[in-house]
């Protein structure tokens, strides 16, 4: 399959992208006698497995049916964060009066230029994932085609058979078709098509208010679409801390995003040049007519045609390939990494799991995926970042928990930056400074959460953060202030009394 037929629009930037991630006229190599590692799927998990194993001296084959880089580069993190940046620039220009900027109301939006910028950056970043780099610099045998197990130690691709000592399934997940009638006929966008738009839809309905739905809803609203989110629950970002989600909700309202909460999508149809969503809200049937529909819910594991049965690999149709905590499948020669097998579907977890596979598959390691401390971030404005447990989760597990919160209004830099809506929150094991989890809502929460993640993964308590000097003024001081808040909880009336007696005695 030639990649150029599926990355639209056909522009110079997209040709440059395809030349890296699915070059025209690519000739698959002759397979080696046997590979230390065959990797199926070249998204983040597959690329990290292949590059890491090859750089340690392994003979590696990498099979990709579509575009190297997978979702993250082509249809996910990279294009979404590219247009989020444009939408922020527009928002700031329009709301600059408080900072001394005038004329914000008259600022125009060039959607096509914002999309072209994203495509240009994506093409530039694709150099890192390029087929030629993997072949020429890393010595990986790169095969384009659909990989399929033909036995317990063989994989077929484009009529060739690859024999392996170890294999790893990294085939990821894709947008699942929406389970509502009429969507296919009405037409809808997913993450695989939305970044190919060249014209801004005047109105857009976003189904689902998870991270993908929320990030893109706010972005398109700021780029000028009339956006409505349809969410069957009563809160956006339903999995996140409720207070965090409420702050994002208020930002959405200011951005003009219409929130249809407690609204169950029933079906869709086409009326003239509009797409009409039929939904149910409060026992009543409502209709929402829009130019485009974006489906932001439902991911399905890519397992079709993989021949898992031929290799004795167990799987679940919804959850994907089954693995133990060493990431081994039910075939002892075959491992899995990334969205295909892990509940936390992020690029950074795909990367972390790939490193575990290299150690366990090739070097008899015993690294466990259950030991990972996994942070994540939703890149709305403000961002919502989280790591570890939520308060309720700790309570449900019977762990005594104390929660401390520092509002960003108490952090000088946040106030100076006009970004004081948000907070840093930490959940501690009661009676100690052991961090169970944390949520940060801030413009750059994704940058700030790593300090807490480092503490958790290194077994450091909140006091260690308290002892760390943070430059003033920074928003990361919010985390240090959490440690100060913890220290204050230790200053009980009894301790205060003892200190007072000590100081009185010292004073003569």
Ligand X SMILES: Cc1cc2nc3c(=O)[nH]c(=O)nc-3n(C[C@H](O)[C@H](O)[C@H](O)COP(=O)(O)OP(=O)(O)OC[C@H]3O[C@@H](n4cnc5c(N)ncnc54)[C@H](O)[C@@H]3O)c2cc1C
Residue choice 76, 301, 375, 388 for contact with ligand X (CB under 6 A): 76
Q: Of 469, 424, 470, which is closest to residue 444 (Cα–Cα)?
A: 424
What string marks each residue from 285 to 304 as x (binds ligand X by CB under 6 A) or -? Answer: -----------------x--
Query: Minimum distance between the CB of residue 478 and ligand X, rounded to whole angstroms?
Result: 22
Site for ligand X in 107-166 (CB under 6 A): 146-147
Of the candidate spans 34-42, 243-251, 283-291, 417-425, the one that interacts with ligand X by CB under 6 A turns out to be 34-42
- 7, 51, 54, 63: residue in contact with ligand X (rule CB under 6 A): 63
Single residue of 13, 19, 71, 231 touching ligand X by CB under 6 A: 71
**CA–CA gap between residue 77 and residue 8 (Å, rounded):** 17
Asked if 31 touches ligand X (CB under 6 A), the answer is: no
Which among 72-80, 179-187, 223-231, 459-467 is the span making contact with ligand X, rule CB under 6 A? 72-80
Each residue 365-404 as x (binds ligand X by CB under 6 A) or -, in order, gives --------------x-------------------------
Cis peptide before 382 (omega within 30 of 0): yes
Determine whether 443 is exposed, middle or buried from the number of CB atoms within 10 Å of its CB (0-12, 13-18, 19+): buried
> CB–CB of 142/136 below 8 Å?
no
| Among candidate residues 341, 379, 340, 441, the one with its CA nearest the CA of residue 210 | 379
If binding is defined by CB under 6 A, does position 306 make contact with ligand X?
yes
55 burial (CB, 10 Å; 0-12 / 13-18 / 19+) is: middle
Closer by beta carbon to ligand X, 73 or else 394: 73
d(CA 257, CA 108): 19
| Window contacting ligand X (CB under 6 A); options: 196-204, 282-290, 345-353, 437-445 | 345-353
Out of 94, 348, 355, 470, which residue is the one contacting ligand X (CB under 6 A)? 348
Among 44, 86, 126, 218, binds ligand X (CB under 6 A): 44
Q: Contacts with ligand X in 203-232 (CB under 6 A)?
A: 212
Nearer to ligand X, 41 or 466 (CB): 41
266 touching ligand X, by CB under 6 A: no
Which range in 69-77, 83-91, 108-116, 499-507 contacts ligand X by CB under 6 A? 69-77
Q: Residue 405 is inside which H or E element, if any?
A: strand 401-407
Contact residue for ligand X among 130, 203, 225, 347 (CB under 6 A):
347
By CB under 6 A, residue 345 contacts ligand X = yes
CA distances from 315 to 33, 146, 175, 448 (A): 29, 19, 19, 37
Give, in degrees to the nearest 5, the angle at Cα 151 between 146 and 153.
Answer: 95
Query: Of 155 and 456, which has the nearer Cβ to ligand X?
Result: 155
CB 470 within 8 A of CB 406: no
- Specify the residue for token string 């795909």: 350
Looking only at residues 167 through 186 of this chain, which bind ligand X when binding is defined by CB under 6 A? 170-173
Minimum distance from CB of 204 to ligand X (Å)? 15
Using CB under 6 A, which of 3, 23, 31, 46 touches ligand X?
Answer: 46
**Can residue 45 be called a binding residue for ligand X (CB under 6 A)?**
yes
Question: Is 275 among the residues that bind ligand X (CB under 6 A)?
Answer: no
Question: With DSSP H G I counted as helix, E B as strand and the rest as coil, what are the percentages for the chain, rounded to 5?
Answer: 40, 25, 40
**Residues forming beta bridges with residue 293, ordered by sequence position:** 205
Stretch near ligand X under the rule CB under 6 A, chosen from 22-30, 87-95, 343-351, 385-393: 343-351
CA gap 316, 136 in Å, rounded: 37
What is the DSSP track for 137-180? Answer: IT--EEEES--EEEETTEEEETTEEEEEEEEEE---EEEPPPSS
Give the binding range for ligand X (CB under 6 A) out of 130-138, 278-286, 337-345, 393-401.
337-345
Given 17, 40, 204, 385, the residue binding ligand X (CB under 6 A)? 40
Q: How far apart are CA 111 and CA 224, in angstroms?
A: 9
Is the backbone peptide bond immediately before 9 cis, with ω within 30 degrees of 0? yes
Tell me the window of 86-94, 346-354, 482-490, 499-507 that interacts with ligand X (CB under 6 A): 346-354
Rg value, the chain, Cα? 25
77 binds ligand X (CB under 6 A): yes
Cα separation, 222 vs 25, whole angstroms: 41
Footprint on this chain of ligand X (rule: CB under 6 A): 40-46, 63-67, 70-72, 76-77, 80, 146-147, 170-173, 191, 212, 302, 305-306, 338-340, 345-348, 350, 379
């Amino acid at each position: 399959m030639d990649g150029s037929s599926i990355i639209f629009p056909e522009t110079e930037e997209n040709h440059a992208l395809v030349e890296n991630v699915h070059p025209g006229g690519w000739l698959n190599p002759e397979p080696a006698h046997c590979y230390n590692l065959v990797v199926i799927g070249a998204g983040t998990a597959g690329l990290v497995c292949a590059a890491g194993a090859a750089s340690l001296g392994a003979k590696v084959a990498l099979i990709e049916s579509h575009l190297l880089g997978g979702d993250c580069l082509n249809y996910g993190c990279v294009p979404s964060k590219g247009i989020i940046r444009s939408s922020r620039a527009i928002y700031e220009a329009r709301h600059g009066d408080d900072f001394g900027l005038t004329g914000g109301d008259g600022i125009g939006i060039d959607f096509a230029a914002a999309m072209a910028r994203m495509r240009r950056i994506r093409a530039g970043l694709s150099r890192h994932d390029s087929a030629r780099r993997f072949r020429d610099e890393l010595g990986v045998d790169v095969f384009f085609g659909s990989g399929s197990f033909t036995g317990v130690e063989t994989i077929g691709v484009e009529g060739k058979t690859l024999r392996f000592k170890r294999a790893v399934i990294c085939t990821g997940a894709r947008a699942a078709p929406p389970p509502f009638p009429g969507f296919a006929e009405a037409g809808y966008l997913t993450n695989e098509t939305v970044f190919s738009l060249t014209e801004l839809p005047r109105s857009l309905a976003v189904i689902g208010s998870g991270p993908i739905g929320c990030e893109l809803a706010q972005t398109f609203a700021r780029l000028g679409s009339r956006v409505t989110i349809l969410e069957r629950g009563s809160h956006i970002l339903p999995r996140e801390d409720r207070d965090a989600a409420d702050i994002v909700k208020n930002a959405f309202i200011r951005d003009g995003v219409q929130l249809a909460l407690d609204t169950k999508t029933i079906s869709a149809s086409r009326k003239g040049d509009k797409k009409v969503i039929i939904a149910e809200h409060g026992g009543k049937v409502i209709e929402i007519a829009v130019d485009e529909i974006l489906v932001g819910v439902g991911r399905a594991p890519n397992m079709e045609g993989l021949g898992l049965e031929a290799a004795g690999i167990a799987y679940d149709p919804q959850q994907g390939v089954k693995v133990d905590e060493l990431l081994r499948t039910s075939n002892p020669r075959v491992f899995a990494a990334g969205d295909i097998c892990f509940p936390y579907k992020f690029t950074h977890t795909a990367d972390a799991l790939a490193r575990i596979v290299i150690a366990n598959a090739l070097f008899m390691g015993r690294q466990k995926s259950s030991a990972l401390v996994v942070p994540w971030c939703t890149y709305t404005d403000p961002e919502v970042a989280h790591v570890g447990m939520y308060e309720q989760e700790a309570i449900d597990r019977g762990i005594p928990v104390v929660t401390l919160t520092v509002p960003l209004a108490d952090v000088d830099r946040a106030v100076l930056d006009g970004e004081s809506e948000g907070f840093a929150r930490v959940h501690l094991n009661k009676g100690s400074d052991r961090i169970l989890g944390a949520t940060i809502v801030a413009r750059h929460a994704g940058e700030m959460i790593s300090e807490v993640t480092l503490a958790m993964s290194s077994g450091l308590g909140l006091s260690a953060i308290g002892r760390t000097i943070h430059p003033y003024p920074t928003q990361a001081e919010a985390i240090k202030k959490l440690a100060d808040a913890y220290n204050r909880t230790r200053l009980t009336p009894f301790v205060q009394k003892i200190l007072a007696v000590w100081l009185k005695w010292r004073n003569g």
